[in-house]
Amino acid sequence: MIRNSLLSFLGILWASSASAEWALNMPKGVTELSAETYDLHMMVFWWCVAIGVVVFGVMIISLVKHRKSQGVEPASFSHSTTAEVIWTALPVVILLLMAVPAAETMIRLEDSRDPDVSIVVTAYQWKWHYKYQDEGVEFYSSLNRPSIEARTKNSGIDPFSVDNFLLEVDRPLVVPKGAKVRLLITSNDVVHSWWVPDLAIKKDAIPGIVNETWFRAEESGTFRGQCAELCGKDHGYMPVVVEVVEPDAYLAWAEAQRASGERVAASQ
Amino acid sequence: MTTAVADAHDAHDEHHGPEKGIKRWLFTTNHKDIGTMYLVLSLIMFLVGGSMALIIRTELMQPGLQFVHPEFFNSMTTMHALIMVFGAVMPAFVGLANWMIPMMIGAPDMALPRMNNWSFWILPVAFGILGSTLFMDGGAPASGWTMYPPLVLQTGDAFPFLIFSVHLMGISSIMGAINIIVTILNMRAPDMWLLKMPMFVWTWLITAYLLIAVMPVLAGAVTMLLTDQFFGTSFFLAAGGGDPVMFQHIFWFFGHPEVYIMILPAFGVVSEIIPTFSRKPLFGHDSMVYAASCIAFLSFIVWAHHMFTVGMPLSGQLFFMFATMLIAVPTGVKVFNWVATMWRGAMTFETPMLFSLAFVFLFTIGGFSGLMLAIAPADIQYHDTYFVVAHFHYVLVPGSVFAIMAAVYYWLPKWTGHMYNETLGKLHFWLSTIFVNVTFFPMHFLGLAGMPRRIPDYSTQFANFNEIASIGAIGFGLSQLIFVWVLLAARRGEKATDRVWEAPRGLEWTVPSPAPYHTFDTPPKARVAQESFE
Amino acid sequence: MTGQTADRKKAVRRTTIILVTVAVAFYLGFILMGILRA
């Protein structure tokens, strides 16, 4: 029992020291599809490693053994139809093995039918606008104050002292856990792109076009992303923040948004 | 020897030596002079584009904005790419083509020597215009080299100059490509049928076809940008019924073949060098020709893999994913053939060989990240991140640029008659290889961790790898000064023999070093048989 | 260059004209596509 506690303690210590600063890989994310995307990525990666080990292995052996300084006589062969056939056919087979699961995931990604929540996302230079279709809630979401102050050239403020520097907004997108959320994405000016790595979705925001995408977050939490299409001088300063909360918390939040919105309208 | 004799006997032959002074260079129609000018321009542009990269990497060394404003940063990324693509890589390969193709096929010069002069001289004008935009109201273009509308239409006074400059570069490339095809198809020595040509000539023949097909498409795209901005059209403006995505389709229809334009001649160079230093013929010469042709053909049907997040229908995503994955097959064939060339050869590791071997290793790594990018669902996470930046820098820097450097080290003794300093060459190689990896390998991690492209500042979790990459960039940049030194010092180097290397194959090694101003005024007959690879 | 035969000059001219036509066709073709699309 003591041993188990000790091991868990060491485990936590180890995990927290595996800090984000040295992150080598993409996140598994919090949706079924983000996990599938991650798995696809890892599968292709391992295939590349395997092929690399073979090809580079042969190269290294050759570089070591087939040197003039070792006194070898060069061979004179210059072709082999058999070899060409094999190393054309084998890669095709490997590609097929990758293409099938990739196609399956792609098909699932595009299926945005029967959403529970629909939100219109409009990109601006340089902030996001969210409008919940059925909640009567809409607002702008911009980089938050501490980041704005720290980001200016020679601001004197250490970015390391700002929480979630460049990745925090004044009003995040709030969505319910477990619900299928559909996003209708467009732009008011130039091309932008809405991206949250933990949700594994990235969709361009294009003026004159409405792009559709969806996600179903299986865990609650705060998930951060950034604009992913060069959109002018503050392209790096319009982050995306999604807060996934329990369904009742979401309904309460929506109610509060409406209430404060009515109060604002009434006071004008 | 044969050339000199032919000169003396040919009554119509009135070759003087080259002109003196600046008039020589302004009016030359000699493929060697023009080749030299392209290469010198390319080196200068490489250093200019490289300085812009250093500005970028200096700003990105630490989080927070220390040195430049975001608008200027965006101009730097834009200009860095335009200059490297159109000013460094492409002119370098055209310069190599000009120098080597006539000699390799036993022709006296290019088919259209006067157009050749114009092809070159348009470029300094184009880059002068592009460079001048740095001083204009609104600054240099800052839309990325991809010039997507509507953003590019927010460019200030620089806009029409950007368009004009791109048109000029395009015209130069088209004229150069026409010249290369006409030369190769009509001026080969008798006995040199197509499949007997060296790989460098083959890859350039294929590249030239790509250029003629796609440079006009780029010209069309930027013409439409110009009319949208100034002449009331709405090709890409949603408000007028136009479609911003159509620009992306047209641009990438050019853009994807463009990247193969930048790599195919590199394949050709490496296919010349590895056999020489393995003392063994290129493995699968015909197969290499077919593979290159396959790559060129496929390059026309994959363009939308640059647009997987644009909102394409599912069928489009699937088609472009499959077609893109397919390119891995002929590319892999080429890598295997290079390795098979080395296998059971008797290798030595002079500088051209070192750069070529590094090419095979590191271009393959770039190919692996390319394969990963082809997987459309995964690309949703990679697109517009530093993962893409890592991929294309691997295929362009230890890819194209290393091949160009390999070619320069390989053929410099033929051009100048002097050997370069081998110790310095090796030093240049090792430092470049180490620093290129220090610079670009961490970018894979940055992209996977979530860092987008084209941002002047970033969240603090990206700091460590950015710092490493920036240190690598500074090291790589400084290492190129060794290259410049090597080139300048080669004028005083050891005298080179005709063959230069132990046993290279090809007609270029049958003429003296330095190559005479005019070579192959009479076509070589018997020598073609000796130098061929059958 | 000296020594260019008349035949070769004709062949060069023919190839050049074909290639220029291809280039112009691609240029106009893509612009036309833009016009028709809009």
DSSP 8-state code for residue A133 = T
Nearest to A21 among B385, B461, B533 (CB): B461
Q: Tell me what pLDDT residue B20 has.
A: 81
Cα→Cα distances A61→B338, B340, B356, B482, Å: 14, 12, 17, 31
Do B219 and C24 make contact, defined as CB atoms within 8 angstroms? no
Q: What are phi and psi of B345, to 5 degrees?
A: -90, -170
Do A166 and B279 make contact, defined as CB atoms within 8 angstroms? no
Do C3 and B221 make contact, defined as CB atoms within 8 angstroms? no
DSSP 8-state code for residue B397 = I
> In this complex, is the C-beta atom of A161 within 8 Å of any C-beta atom belonging to chain B?
no
Residues shown for chain A: 268
Distance from CA of A123 to the nearest CA of B (A): 13
pTM: 0.94
Over 80: is that where the pLDDT of B9 sits?
no
Which pLDDT band, with edges at 50, 70 and 90, does B529 fall under? low
Cα→Cα distances A144→A127, A151, A239, Å: 11, 11, 9
Q: Tell me what pLDDT residue B503 has.
A: 84
Q: Tell me what pLDDT residue A20 has.
A: 77
Transcribe B247-306 into DSSP letters: HHHHHHHHHHHHHHHHHHHHHHHHHHHHHHHHTSPPTTHHHHHHHHHHHHHHGGG-GGGG
d(C-alpha B323, C-alpha B303), whole Å: 10
Over 50: is that where the pLDDT of B393 sits?
yes
Q: Tell me what pLDDT residue A10 has.
A: 58
Helices (H), B375-494: 376-382, 386-395, 402-416, 422-449, 463-489
Query: How far is CA A38 from its chain centroid?
Result: 10
Per-residue pLDDT of chain A (268 residues; tens, 9 = 90+): 556 655 655 555 455 445 778 999 999 999 999 999 999 999 999 999 999 999 999 999 999 999 999 999 999 999 999 999 999 999 999 999 999 999 999 999 988 899 999 999 999 999 999 999 988 899 999 999 999 999 999 999 999 999 999 999 999 999 999 999 999 999 999 999 999 999 999 999 999 999 999 999 999 999 999 999 999 999 999 999 999 999 999 999 999 999 887 665 665 5
> In this complex, is the C-beta atom of B220 within 8 Å of any C-beta atom belonging to chain C?
yes
Look-up: residue for tokens 């270029």?
B508
Q: Tell me what pLDDT residue A112 has.
A: 86
**Average pLDDT, stretch B64-75?**
96
Q: Tell me what pLDDT residue B524 has.
A: 87
Name the nearest CA neighbour of B91 among B26, B126, B41: B41
Helices (H), chain A: 2-17, 32-65, 81-109, 145-151, 247-266
H or E element, residue A128: strand A127-132
**Average pLDDT, stretch B294-312?**
97
Query: What are the residues whose beta carbons fall under 8 Å from the beta carbon of C36, sequence distance 6 or more?
Result: none
Over 80: is that where the pLDDT of B336 sits?
yes
Q: Tell me what pLDDT residue A235 has.
A: 98
Laid out side by side, the sheet with A173-176 consists of A173-176, A240-245, A221-225
d(C-alpha A125, C-alpha A105), whole Å: 33
Q: Quick count: other Cβ atoms within 10 Å of Cβ B93?
A: 30
Interface B:C, ≥3 CB–CB pairs < 8 Å: yes
Q: Tell me what pLDDT residue B530 has.
A: 58
Buried b (16+ CB within 10 A) or exposed e, B177-192: bbbbbbbbbbbbbeeb
Contact A152, A183 (CB under 8 A): no
H or E element, residue B172: helix B158-186
Q: Tell me what pLDDT residue A171 has.
A: 96
**Average pLDDT, stretch B441-462?**
97
Q: For chain B, what is the mean pLDDT?
A: 94
User: pLDDT higher for B14 or A214?
Assistant: A214
Q: Tell me what pLDDT residue A21 has.
A: 86
At residue A171, the 3 state secondary structure works out as coil
What residues of B are annotated to the active site?
80, 109, 145, 172-173, 256, 258, 260, 271, 305-306, 331, 334, 453
Q: Quick count: other Cβ atoms within 10 Å of Cβ B411?
A: 26
Name the nearest CA neighbour of B251 among B185, B152, B177, B176: B152
Give ipTM to 2 decimals. 0.93
* Set of chain B residues whose Cβ sits within 8 Å of the Cβ of A229: 148, 384
Q: Tell me what pLDDT residue A18 has.
A: 52
Query: How far is CA B470 from its chain centroid?
Result: 24
Q: Tell me what pLDDT residue A268 has.
A: 53
Mutate to test the interface with B, among C8, C14, C15, C21 (most CBs of B within 10 A): C15
* Set of chain A residues whose Cβ sits within 8 Å of the Cβ of B195: none
> In this complex, is the C-beta atom of B8 within 8 Å of any C-beta atom belonging to chain C?
no
Please write the tens of the pLDDT for every residue from B163-202: 999 999 999 999 999 999 999 999 999 889 999 999 999 9
Per-residue tokens: B468: 């490493």
Cα→Cα distances A262→A2, A136, B116, Å: 57, 10, 72
Query: What are the residues whose beta carbons fall under 8 Å from the beta carbon of B204, sequence distance 6 or more?
Result: B93, B97, B101, B180, B184, B264, B265, B268
Query: What are the residues whose beta carbons fall under 8 Å from the beta carbon of A209, sequence distance 6 or more?
Result: A186, B238, B243, B244, B245, B311
Contact A157, A223 (CB under 8 A): no
As a whole-number percent, the residues of chain B with pLDDT over 90 amount to 93
